[in-house]
């Protein structure tokens, strides 16, 4: 196994249960199509030059009608334009945006995925059985603003970093690990997919639900990003919330086997909130 890390069997079992319950996961080749194209070159962190090994976008097709007909996706999409791209620029949260956060949390809490995650966290004494208290806990972990850049006001939150993406001094991309945001930004010509990152043995396919990739966003390059593809917002919220609450360490890297994917879940805390979290694909079953 890569890097000698043992698979966390207990967490893997919980995540596979969530995977089975994720009825809102889209089907590759039917609900969306990706075009992986070439293997991306090495790019040093901080460099904004990358050879483009993919002339076409990553997403050839996404059934947007289906996305907008599923409450959790519709609520999720409404949140994506609520944030300032650059850290150091204070976020101003309007009452409409607060309502959108509220509606999104209500929508995910109605799903079997989030209900199961909640039950698991209650069993581990990491969450209250009271749904209203659990919702408040989710809000604090994901949406409570904090200082990421010491020079400015409250400029970031876990949701913005993980799902929306932000920039550091407008020189480096941070976060942006969500496939829906990637697709929407690609459609706006703000994201340019540069190719996949993998060994020859682990070359990804268009049916894969986890991909390591390289891209630029508004002319800044992310040398290696990683993302689930096609999974629902509630699945990612559930997975990362569980990963966050299972450890108090500032940085944890946990190896799990979900479906056919061996993944390292990287979790970085920012006090009592999520700093960043993402899946890093290690290998997959053929």
Residues annotated catalytic, as ranges: 161, 177, 222
Nearest to 219 by CA among 184, 187, 183, 194: 194
Per-residue exposure over 118-131, b if at least 16 CB sit within 10 Å of its own CB, e if not: bebbeeeeebeeee
Under DSSP, is residue 106 helix (H, G, I), strand (E, B) or coil? helix
What are the tokens at 13? 């079992």
Q: What angle do CA 15, 19, 20 make, to 5 degrees?
A: 120
Residues 185, 175: Cα–Cα separation, whole Å: 14
DSSP state of 92: -
CA gap 187, 170 in Å, rounded: 21
Residues in a beta bridge with 251: 268
Rounded Cα distance, 54 and 279, in Å: 22
- How far, CA to CA in Å, does 284 sit from each of 69, 183, 208? 31, 24, 9
């Amino acid at each position: 196994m890569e890097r000698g890390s043992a698979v966390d069997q207990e967490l893997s079992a919980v995540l596979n249960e969530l995977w089975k319950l994720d009825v809102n996961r889209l089907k590759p080749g039917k609900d969306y199509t990706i075009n992986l194209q070439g293997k991306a070159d090495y790019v040093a962190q901080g460099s904004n030059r990358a050879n483009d090994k993919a002339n076409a976008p990553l997403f050839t097709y996404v059934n947007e009608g289906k996305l907008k007909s599923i409450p959790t996706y519709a609520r999720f999409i409404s949140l994506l334009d609520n944030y300032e791209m650059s850290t150091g620029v204070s976020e101003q949260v309007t009452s409409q945006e607060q309502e959108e956060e509220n509606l999104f949390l209500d929508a995910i809490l109605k799903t079997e995925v989030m209900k199961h995650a909640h039950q698991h966290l209650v069993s581990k004494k990491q969450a209250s059985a009271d749904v209203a208290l659990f919702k408040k806990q989710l809000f604090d972990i994901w949406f409570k603003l904090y200082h990421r850049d010491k020079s400015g006001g409250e400029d970031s939150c876990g949701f913005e970093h993980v799902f929306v993406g932000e920039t550091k001094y407008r020189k480096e991309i941070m976060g942006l690990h969500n496939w829906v945001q990637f697709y929407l930004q690609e459609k706006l010509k703000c994201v340019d997919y540069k190719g996949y990152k993998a060994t020859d043995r682990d070359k990804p396919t268009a049916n894969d639900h986890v991909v390591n990739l390289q891209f630029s966003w508004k002319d800044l390059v992310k040398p290696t990003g990683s993302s689930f593809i096609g999974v629902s917002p509630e699945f990612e919220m559930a997975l990362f919330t569980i990963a966050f609450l299972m450890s108090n360490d500032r940085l944890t890297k946990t190896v799990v086997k979900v479906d056919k994917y061996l993944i390292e879940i990287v979790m970085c805390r920012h006090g009592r909130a999520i700093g960043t979290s993402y899946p890093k694909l290690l290998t997959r079953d053929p």
